[in-house]
Every structure is written in structure tokens, then in C-alpha cells.
Chains A and B, each alone.
Chain A
Amino acid sequence: MAVRTYYTREHEWVRIEDGVAVCGITDYAQSQLGDVVYVELPEVGAEIARDGEAAVVESTKAASDVYAPVGGTVVGVNGRLEESPDLVNESAEDQGWFFRMEIDDEGELDELMDEEGYQAFVEELD
């Protein structure tokens, strides 16, 4: 079964891999931000509620909060972003992931958009 990706209205994505939620910002979000220069990641072990502030992504002109798509505990962060924040621009929904979480309630995923729903949402914005 193909791995399913879920999306938020705040332009985060989340995907379950090996039982852990991998989160990042969407390709649309990175295109709006422009060149990403820095990502402030959460501490491993941090417990974050759904929609809680989890990270900050900065371009030269803007700083944006990144919220947790679902509630849970941070179990890993993408250390490569420290040296190479450009990964967010190049591969927002793969190599440019932000953090991994153990989810409190998988049911929260069902309240998010699927890929098709998110595409429609973004088209509304443009």
C-alpha cells in the first residue's frame, strides 16, 4: 500500500513511516518563502500538542512558524538542515523533512487533507 501523505491548511505535511510521523513543510510553502536560510528545529523529547509551535523556518525576508500537524513527542530532527537549509527548497517533501514524532492519537490524521484536497486548497489561494 502506498504511503499516504496528509496536509494541513498551514502548509505542513505529515507521513507515517515505520510507525513514526515524519513532518515538514510543503513544496508550495517553500516556493512562497523563497530561499530558506535557516530552520530552527524542536528538541528531541519535546511534547507538542496538535497545532502547537514546533519549528521556525526562515528565508531572507520572512520567518514563519511551523506547527505540529498532529500531537505527539519529537523523536528525531533532520540534522542535515543545519548545514544545508537549501534542502527545504530542493526537496521540501522528502529530503527536507523537519522532524519525526511519535503520535498520541492517529485519529487526528483523519482530520487533515489528502494530496488531492491540498492541491485544491492551494489552487484556491492562488
Chain B
Amino acid sequence: MTGLSRDTVSGDLGLRIEEPLIFEQDSPGAVGVDWPEAEAGPDRLGGLARSGPIGLPSLAEPTVVRHYTRLSQKNYGIDTGLFPLGSCTMKHNPRLNERMARLPGFADVHPLQPESTVQGALTLCRELQRWLTVLTGMPGVALTPGAGAHGELCGMMAVRAALDAGGAANAARRRVLVPDSAHGTNPATAAALGFEVVSVPEDGRGRVDPDRFEALAGEGGVAAVMLTNPNTCGVFENDIRRIADAVHDAGGYFYCDGANFNAIVGRVRPGDLGVDAMHINLHKTFSTPHGGGGPGSGPVVFSEALAPFAPVPRIVEEDGVLRLEEANGRALGRMKAFHGQMGMFVRALAYMMSHGADGLRQVSGDAVLNANYLLRKLEDLYSAPFADSGPAMHEALFDDRSLRDTGVSTLDIAKAMIDEGLHPMTVYFPLVVHGAMLVEPTETETRASLDRFVAIMRGLADRAKAGAPLTEAPHHAPRRRLDETQAARKPVLRWRGAGEE
């Protein structure tokens, strides 16, 4: 063991406390929940009762609370500080939303209770659909997808179902045009559904080249385009109408990846731009918590053309009573077990109601202003490949060209930010920009917070150019750089006790 730990007896440093695994804190005889023993009697398990130990450790409640509290202290969250993760929209998570989702009338309700006993829940779902419909200008909403990528799957299944319903000749429509700046989920989704992915090159200004796009669309067999707008280069696709027309003229549909909806919410309705389907990441635009990687929620909005193919269950109204329609001949099928991420619907609706139409408009305005502010304050030190391609939207894209002679890479800057108490930005994405750094401040940062970010980033650039050894960072995080090669070469995916194979 080296350096850092030499000053203390324990090796721990102040609040930085090492915490063993729960399996290493096993204290047989301890319990964290008091359940009585069931009364003895004959079982009806058909001879399949478990024999022998499961192998779970035994810990009392104080130990468990301390364990997970200490683990939490090794994490960075939005509550900790600025979280400039491009394309991820890490904005403030209001606690009111948590309180609302935990109301027993929402949380302690079973998905298959009689519909007469869940009219409030169904009304909430309808209300969320109404807000999404008005905000997107699109008439259909499928609530069930469990996350953004799941929404993409749903939207592209609807495209396939609509094509198939359009006649046997459409079976040959298998080409999906995907810009090479797209999120990885787009080609993965298209390929998972048997589509052929056709890559559309970026035009050198961070956008799809409309002439090139029209040519590709004109080659026949087009099923759809999958386009993110604003795109991952941080700019708005100003030829979006031409793109929409080209794909429609070719007999295909326009799928919009809604990951960047935060930039335009309340100001632009995708339905007005010719979009046929778009998923909405409730955990981005509408601030349901990311929770360390989920659960997400990815409702999909549909145009008139695709709405009939939305999955079941659907919420329908009959004689003033809301019901769940569980089967429909045109529906593409079913996305998951029940009706969607209800807990996320409550949070998202609480967020929408809190902001209102006026507040949501301010959300996109401030998000875009903040990104442009960072772009202009940093572009002299960090090269910005598309700074002259028109205003940035809610993200500022930089690259590592300006650091080329320093030996410091994008990754080094990201790791150095950790030592400064910041979460890094998105790095090496989009793939079309070498050494990309995609910064999304969101609208919930103060100007002071933005200025602090600028000061740190400028300082890091200065240090890099002065030859500071950033390649070793971070030094002050709970861990230094981790050996991902070892993790992948000899995967250890679970704990094993001494002597266990």
C-alpha cells in the first residue's frame, strides 16, 4: 500500500472510509428484520423444500445502515455538484416528486386490481399522456416502455408493424438510415429488429448532409430514418423538414430519438417537424431520478400514421370510466409485464405541473443559454469543432485538438475533473468527433456554478499546456484509475468465500 494511507492507523482518511462487502461482515445469529418463526405444520411444497443454506450473510440493522451510508459516500450525484454529462440531462431531482410517488394510493396499488379501484392511477396516466401530447404535438402515446432504448424498440416495432400492414411489397423495406453521430442504441435497436443499418455521414458542420440524405433515401427500400434532434453534436438539424420529406417521399417513417428533448421542450413540437415516433426519456427531460442507472421510463409519442400500432395495454375511456385495453388486433404487441413505470409517471407529472407551460419553456431557454455560455467561455482553450455551425443547443461540444501537443488526452481531463470535485462530461461521444467532450450543464445550475466550472476547465487546460502530469489523475477520489483490462480478462462477477470455487 502506498502514499495516501501512511498518516493514519486504520488507513482510512477522515470521511474516506474503506467498506468491506456485506459477505465479509457476516455475523451468524444477527438479524436485520424481526420475523417470527412460522407455526410448525405440514408443508405443501411438493417435496421441493430447499435443503441447506442459501449462503446469505447475517447483519443487524445498524450495520446495514452504516454499510450503505458509507457506500453512498463513495458516489457523486447531482446533489453533490454540477453533472455536465452530455446527452444525459442530469438536472435537479425535486424531492416533492419522491414524496408523491410514495403516496400509498400510487405505491401500494397492484397492477391487476379491479379497474374500479384504480381510477386515480389511470387518470394520472391519462393526464401524463395529455401533457406529452400537447408538448410534442403528436396524438398517440405509448406509456409502457421501461427506458429510452426500450422506447426506441417500441417505436421501431411500430414502424415495422405499419409497413407490414401496408402490404406485402413493404417486406422489402428494410433500410434504416442512421447518422453516424447517433447514440449506439439507434443502430442496435434497428439491427435487433432485422433492419439493415445505413450510416449517414456528418457534413463537417455537425449535421446530416441533406443532399447526401436525399440520395440515400432515393435508393429504395427505406423503412425509416432514426435521427436525434437537436443532435449529439449539440446543434439543431436545420434541414429537418427536408429530411422528413425525403423519408416520407421514400415511403418510410421518421423516428426521432428524444434524448435531447430538453433543449426544445415547450418551444418546438416534434410533430410540427414531421416526426412519426419519438421516445421521451422521462429521466432526462422530466427529471425522474437516474438512480445510478435506472429505473428509466421511455414513453413513445406517435403520429396519426403510427398511433394505431401502439402496444397494449392501452388506457381507454368507456362511459366516463377508464379501463385497460389488453388486446388489440393492430397493436404491435406488449413491451413489458404491466402498464409501465407508474412510479416514474407520478414523478414526471409532478415535475411538469410544478413547471407548467411557462416554466417548461424557461427550462429549454435556460438549458440552451447555459450551454452557449460555457461554449463561449471555453472555446479559446478547448477546440470546439462546430462552434461556427450556428448556436449550440443544450450541449457544448469540445474536442482534444487544442491539447494535441501536451500529451494530455480527453480522458485525462475527465479524470482531472474528478480531483476538482466535478463529475466529468461525456467523453469520446459522439464518435464522429475525435476526443469528444460533450458538456451539458442543464438549466438547474446557478451562474456561480457555471463560472466555477469555467474556471476549473480553464485551469486544467493551462496546467495541461504547462506540462502538468494529469495522466495520473484522479488522486483524491475513493479510488484511482481502475484496471479495466484485468476486469475483462479474468471476470470476477460475484463474491466467493475462502475455498469456494
List chain A positions with a Cβ less than 8 A from chain B: 35, 37-38, 58, 60, 85-86
Contacts and interface: CB of A to CB of B under 8 A. Distances in A.
Contacts of A38: 488-489
Chain A binding surface SS class: loop
B24 interface: no
Contacts of A58: 488
Contacts of B488: 37-38, 58, 60
A126 to B, nearest CB: 14
A105 to B, nearest CB: 30
A70 B485 CA distance: 31
Contacts of A86: 489
A60 B489 CA distance: 9
Given A37-B488, A60-B487, 10 more contacts: A35-B485, A35-B489, A37-B485, A37-B489, A38-B488, A58-B488, A60-B484, A60-B485, A85-B489, A86-B489
A38 B488 CA distance: 8
A78 to B, nearest CB: 16
Contacts of B484: 60
14 contacts: A35-B485, A35-B489, A37-B485, A37-B488, A37-B489, A38-B488, A38-B489, A58-B488, A60-B484, A60-B485, A60-B487, A60-B488, A85-B489, A86-B489
A37 B489 CA distance: 5
For the complex of A and B, the 3 pairs showing the least CB-CB separation, nearest first, are A37-B488, A35-B485, A60-B484
Main SS of the interface on chain B? helix
Most chain A beta-carbon neighbours within 10 Å: one of B484, B487, B489: B489
Nearest to A58: B488
Contacts of B485: 35, 37, 60
B439 to A, nearest CB: 21
Contacts of B487: 60
A37 B485 CA distance: 6
A19 B488 CA distance: 36
Nearest to B484: A60
Nearest to A37: B488
B46 to A, nearest CB: 41
Interface string B425-463: 000000000000000000000000000000000000000
A60 to B, nearest CB: 4
Contacts of A60: 484-485, 487-488
Contacts of A85: 489
Nearest to B487: A60
A4 to B, nearest CB: 33
Query: Which one of A37, A38, A85, A86 has the greatest number of beta carbons of chain B within 10 Å?
Result: A37
A92 B13 CA distance: 44
A58 to B, nearest CB: 8
A118 to B, nearest CB: 25
Contacts of A35: 485, 489
A85 to B, nearest CB: 6
A86 B488 CA distance: 11
A58 B485 CA distance: 11
A35 B485 CA distance: 6
Nearest to A60: B484
A38 B489 CA distance: 6
Interface in B467-494: 484-485, 487-489
Nearest to A35: B485
Contacts of B489: 35, 37-38, 85-86
A37 B484 CA distance: 9
A35 B488 CA distance: 10
Interface in B114-134: none
A35 B487 CA distance: 12
B307 to A, nearest CB: 38
A1 B487 CA distance: 44
A85 B484 CA distance: 14
A7 to B, nearest CB: 26
A82 to B, nearest CB: 11
A69 B485 CA distance: 28
A38 to B, nearest CB: 7
A43 B485 CA distance: 26
A107 B488 CA distance: 39
A45 B488 CA distance: 28
Nearest to B488: A37
A101 to B, nearest CB: 27
A85 B489 CA distance: 7
A86 B490 CA distance: 11
B491 to A, nearest CB: 9
Nearest to B489: A37
A26 to B, nearest CB: 20
A30 to B, nearest CB: 13
Nearest to A84: B489
A35 B483 CA distance: 11
A86 B485 CA distance: 10
A35 B489 CA distance: 9
B431 to A, nearest CB: 11
Output the residue of A58, A60, A85, A86 with the most chain B CB within 10 A.
A60
Nearest to B428: A61
A89 to B, nearest CB: 10
A31 B355 CA distance: 52
A86 B489 CA distance: 9
* Residue among B484, B485, B487 with most chain A CB within 10 A: B485
A60 B488 CA distance: 7
